[in-house]
Each structure stands twice: as structure tokens, then as C-alpha cells.
Structure 1
């Protein structure tokens, strides 16, 4: 087994490079391959093979710790840095309603799904401690509301055991990608679906024109000063978040230990909350202009390295041993999907808003642009915009979902 972190990091970088190189290839084989196999799935799956076949020793590696403590908060800052609340509001109320409906479906869907499964299989509530099923579900909530960054945040905040986490990562990836495939099919039939609901799609045309204008106005080739400023903002705010977290967690532990139930005594909880909050605040400062130089892209690079390190802890055989968790995830996603379809029908929202609003939650910035681009290539940034909003909301909403799951699932 390889134990040298420098070698493991190089292997993970090579895997990510291979995935993105082939995903962008014009070769017929790769185009067909990625039509059925999402690139994000490979970013989890391929690193998991290194552990499955005992090539590396993930348990002894410090890469996950570095990615979760340094790259994760920096990525949250850089991703939320590009939030333009006015632009999100200009998408129209239906876009925001559908996005928030998706968030609500995940927050309430988790506890409901757990109650349904408990009535079918009471043993699902029989495990307590770090490997309790409800704890593992908090990581899925984080992933399905914000993305990989929020998933990792929930793992640390709720002290999720590696065994249930491995199973839940598999549930997350498989269920989310099945739903994404359904959304892409819906995108291909959007005109018929919109006509059937009587949805007004003129806003989509106006939105497409606005996005194209915005791209031309702010996009630029990043200079070295741009890249250094992006690094300074990302890691500088991360340092501030660490400094405050180092003080707040011990203070709550000493003066209000009863708040441990709400994660107030967790250093990692404060690290994520402060980094996210400062990132949102800086979106109203001149630092937001760094998005034109690719701040969110660099944040996404950090996220994918985090995803790869998570993949090294994923047990791809977990679903074979725990089919009940797969059913639990399917019920959860069905609640989310059902609520999305119901609200879209009631308010006559365009299929675009429904699909992108859902994927901005479930898939995050990694796949929301893919679904948006399925409607029109120039609309891909809209998926990013809503997904970035999901990153900001995900930490708070997933934490609240975790508290609801704690009530249902026990200690």
C-alpha cells in the first residue's frame, strides 16, 4: 500500500486530469461514454478503486484533513464570492420559488423518508453513535442542498462515522445521478411539458440575452495579480475563520456545553459558518470582481480535490450490503421530485426553472450548469448562479435538516 501523501496527491490529480480531459474530448467514444456516465461520478468512483484494491492507505493519509480544513473553507469563500443577489432576484420569483422548493423538499424529505423506512424496517434506527443512519443522512442533505463542500461540513459537524458515510456517499452519487438523467430527459422535452402546463417561457429568452451580455462584460483572461488576489482572499478569509473558530468553540464548550446538541461546540461548525458568511459579505465588496478572473473556477478546483479525497473513503460495495439505504435515498429523492413537480404545475413554472432549481440543489455547481446548458448553452451560468446560492444556503439548511433527523433518529 502507498502511504506517501505526495504520491497519493499526484495520483488523485492525475485521475482528475484524466476525467476532465476525456470529458472535454471530441472523440466519439468519450462523447458517448459521458452521455451515460457523469464526470462527477468518476471523480468519486475512480479514487475509491485505489482504496478498494488496497493500492493506497486512505486511513493513514492526511489529504482529507488538509482538503476539509484548508481547501474546503477557501472554496466556500471563492464560490460565494460570486453571489449576485440582485441577479438572482432578476431571474423572477418563479425561479427562486422552484429553487427554494427544492431545498425545502430535501430538508423535510430526509426526516419523512427516515420515518417511512423505520415503519418498513425498524432496525434502521437500531444503530446509535457515529454510524447512526440519521448522521449519515446529514451528509446527503449537505450534498443535495449545497454540494461536496457542504457534505464534508456535515460529516465533521455531526461526527459521522466512516462506515455509514461510505454507504451514504454511494447513495448520494447513485440516486442524484439517476435524478439528473431524468432532468436531462425532461430538458429534451421541455417545449411539450411547458405547453402542457401553459407555462410562459418568454422570461427564459430574456434571461438568455442578459446572461450573454453579462458574460461579455465581466469575463477576462486572469493575470498573475488576479490569481494572487484570489488566493489571498480565499486563504486569507480561511485564516480569519480558523482564528474565530479556535476561540468560539472552546468558549461554548466551557460556558454553554448544552449547546453541543446544536454543534456550537464544534470548531469545524464555526469554521464553515464563518467562512461562508464572510464570503457572502464580500460579494458586496470590490472583491466580487475577482469572479471575472475565475474565482469560482479556482474554488471548483479545490472542491474536486476534496471530492477525490472523499472518494478514497468510499466503499463501493456498501450498497450491496445495505440495500435499505438505497431505498431510503430513493424515497427521499422521490419526495423532493414530487414536491418540485407539484409546485411547478401549480405556479406554471417553465421546465427550465424546475430542472435547474432542482439540480442547483442536488448537484450543485458541478452539474447544475450541465442541466442548464441542456436547454441552451448560454444558460449554463444560470445553473452556476443558483448553485452558488445553494452553497451559501446549504450549510444552514443542511444543518437544520440534521437537527430534524436527530429528532427522528435518536442519539
Structure 2
């Protein structure tokens, strides 16, 4: 059994590195094609925790709180350096409309589901579903950020991650299965698709001109920027939180951890519009931090606690059903094509890792659109998840 805090962090970091390396080497195999690295990391660390590989002593708890508290804002900041708002705005009104329709319908799905099913959940389930909403609007990093912001116990995240992985995987399959129905759907909504093809070609050309080689200096700079952004965000939040609580009253949404994430998000969006946004390597650095965060979260969970899994999976399908119905209605009203709807949906629910899959299923040159729409999710995911958490808290009467 591991009892040292440093050994605990080192073992999680090593495990994340081993799994990521295996995925890179065997990425074309059937296993990693259908079981992404975050799922392997989470299940693996849950197994370790279930068999008590590490102790629950003060040293390990301190190491966990310290590392997690500083990594979350750093990860959010580095991740958002890719999200140049000017590039995102090039998507045009129709693509932006499609994205926000998907975001709105997902948020509505959470509200409708919680209204009807809240009686079967734990008292603080509004927090965990808020974290899931962060993932289904942005990505896993946003979910982790909301978990830290709302102070959600790691043991309570087991069901959330179960929904995030199982329901999401089935949703990807369903969206890919709709590709042959595109022409019929587009006739029904009376949409025009020629502008999408032109935009995809233009974005692909722009990406080819960008510098892609990553130097050691780039990695060092990104890590330094991320940790400094985390330090600035934490220090600023510590000053602002007491003042805001004094003005508006005590709330989970005005805590130091919540404000740290919000400030780091704003810093990332602003810096993405400067030359810092062109430093290559931000996806690799932010993903490395994310992998460690997933391992940290899973290290505090256990399979022994997953007793109500079917009810939570049903809740996930309820959310997706509401999202699908409302999205179809809005597509008819705004004359959105199936590519826009499907890509926007997966850009929210699946983020950068999977949005290009649906885009490529239509046409390879459309992949950059899927990537940009998914990056938009990173920008709005944390704010959207916190808004959903607030809505669910009101429904729960908290």
C-alpha cells in the first residue's frame, strides 16, 4: 500500500503516461478505437482504489488537494489558448446558431430530466449533474473544473463519469448512423449546404499554413504560463470571494475555487487572442494535465459505491432524448442541415476528441469545422455547467 503523498502522485502520473503511450502506439487497434484513454484511466484508477492500492492518510489527502487545486485552473488556461474567438466567429451565423441550439437543448434536457427524476437522486445530485453538463457542453476538462469549483466529492463523481462514458458512446454511434439520412433531413428542414463546403475548404487551408512542430521551449513556456495563470487566478479569487459573498450572500458559486476557474477561463480566452495563442503544443500540455486530473479523481472513487447505475444511465438517455427532439424542432425552424446539427451536438457532448468524427463522416474537408465548434464548447462549458447547476439547485429547492 502506498502511504507517501509524493509516491501517490508519481504513481498516478506514471499510469497516465503508460496508458497514453499505449494509445499512441496502438491507436489503430479496435480497443483504443472504441475505448478512449480517459475511460481506461478512470476505470484503471477506480480498480486501484477499490483494492486500496494507496492509503487514505493525511499526507495523501494533502497531496491530492494541493495538486488538484493548482492543476485545474492551469489546465483550463492552457486548453483555452487554442480557442481564438476571431477564428471561431468565422464559422458564420448558421454554424454558431447550430452550436448554441445544441447547447440550449442540452441544458434544457438536464432541467426536464431533473424535474421528473430528482426523487431518485442523492441530495447533492444537482452538483454532479452540473459537472456532467460542463462535460456535455464543453469537455472532460470543464467537468473537472466544475467539480473543483463546486467542491464535489470524488466518490460522488462515479455515476457522473459512468453517464459521461456509456451514454456518450451510444450517442456517437447514433449520430454516425444518421449520416445516410442527411439528404432526407435537409429536404425536411429546407436547408442550404453550399456555404459549409466552402468554409471547410478555407479552414483546412488555414490550418495547413500554421506551425505544427513543437519545441521543448514551447512545452516549457506553456507549463509556465499555465501554472502562473493558476497562481494569479487563485490569488485573485481569494481577494474577490469574501467581497462578493459579503455583497451577495454565501453561495457555492462565489467560492474561491469557483472564482479561480472562472478567472482562469477568462485569462485563457483573452490570451488566445494574443501571440500566445499561436504557441504550438497547447493541446498536448492541456491533455497531459487532464489525464493526471482524471487519475486523481478516479483515485478517490470505488466500484463498491456504484449501486444505482441503471437509474443514472436512464437519466442520461432522458437528457439526450430531450436534446434530440428539441434540436430537430429548432432545425426545422431555423432551416439547419443535419451536418450542422450532428456536429454541434457532438461538439458539445463529445468535445474535440469526437466532433471531427461526425464532420469527417460527411466530408474530410469539414473536419476543421468540427474542431472549431468543439473548441467553442471549451469556452462555454464551464459557464454553462455552472448555470445548469444553479438551475438544478433551484429545481431541488436548495
TM-score by shorter chain over 0.5: yes
* Mean Cα deviation higher: 172-181 or 219-228: 219-228
Question: Structure 2 residue aligned with 1:259, among 243, 249, 256?
Answer: 249
Check whether the contact 1:58–1:312 (CA below 8 A) recurs between aligned residues: no
Q: Distance in 2 between matches of 1:366 and 1:390?
A: 12
Question: Structure 1 residue aligned with 2:223, among 228, 231, 241?
Answer: 231
Check whether the contact 2:128–2:157 (CA below 8 A) recurs between aligned residues: yes
Distance 1:6 1:379, change over 3 A: farther
Q: Distance in 2 between matches of 1:63 and 1:347?
A: 51
Q: In the alignment, is residue 356 of structure 1 matched against residue 343 of structure 2? A: yes
Deviation (angstroms), 1:140 = 0.9
Question: Structure 2 residue aligned with 1:289, among 278, 289, 292?
Answer: 278
Residue deviations 1:198-237 (CA, integer Å, cap 9, x gap): 5433233222312221112112312333333322322222
Q: In the alignment, is residue 183 of structure 1 matched against residue 189 of structure 2? A: no
- Total equivalences in the alignment: 396
Distance 1:70 1:158, change over 3 A: closer
Q: Distance in 1 between matches of 2:111 and 2:77?
A: 30
Check whether the contact 2:197–2:366 (CA below 8 A) recurs between aligned residues: no
Quote the residue 1:12 is aligned against: 12
Deviation (angstroms), 1:284 = 2.1
Distance 1:63 1:364, change over 3 A: farther
Distance 1:239 1:159, change over 3 A: closer
Quote the residue 2:311 is aligned against: 324
Distance 1:204 1:54, change over 3 A: same
Deviation (angstroms), 1:11 = 4.0
Question: Structure 2 residue aligned with 1:160, among 142, 152, 170?
Answer: 152
Q: Distance in 2 between matches of 1:3 and 1:384?
A: 42
Question: Structure 2 residue aligned with 1:44, among 42, 45, 66?
Answer: 42
Question: Structure 1 residue aligned with 2:207, among 182, 200, 215?
Answer: 215
Check whether the contact 1:145–1:361 (CA below 8 A) recurs between aligned residues: yes
Structure 2: state its 5+ residue gaps.
Answer: none
Q: Distance in 2 between matches of 1:185 and 1:15?
A: 35
Q: In the alignment, is residue 95 of structure 1 matched against residue 95 of structure 2? A: yes
Residue deviations 1:69-91 (CA, integer Å, cap 9, x gap): 22221121122222222322222
Alpha-carbon RMSD: 2.7
Distance 1:310 1:345, change over 3 A: farther
* Mean Cα deviation higher: 107-116 or 320-329: 320-329
Quote the residue 2:3 is aligned against: 3
Q: Distance in 1 between matches of 2:135 and 2:153?
A: 16
What SS does the aligned partner of 1:360 have? helix
Q: Distance in 1 between matches of 2:272 and 2:306?
A: 41
Q: In the alignment, is residue 274 of structure 1 matched against residue 266 of structure 2? A: no
Distance 1:361 1:191, change over 3 A: same
What SS does the aligned partner of 2:249 have? helix
Quote the residue 2:104 is aligned against: 104
Distance 1:95 1:58, change over 3 A: farther
Q: Distance in 1 between matches of 2:369 and 2:41?
A: 23
Check whether the contact 2:101–2:327 (CA below 8 A) recurs between aligned residues: yes
Deviation (angstroms), 1:100 = 0.8
* Mean Cα deviation higher: 396-405 or 63-72: 63-72
Q: Distance in 1 between matches of 2:225 and 2:141?
A: 18
Q: Distance in 1 between matches of 2:208 and 2:154?
A: 45
Check whether the contact 2:6–2:63 (CA below 8 A) recurs between aligned residues: no
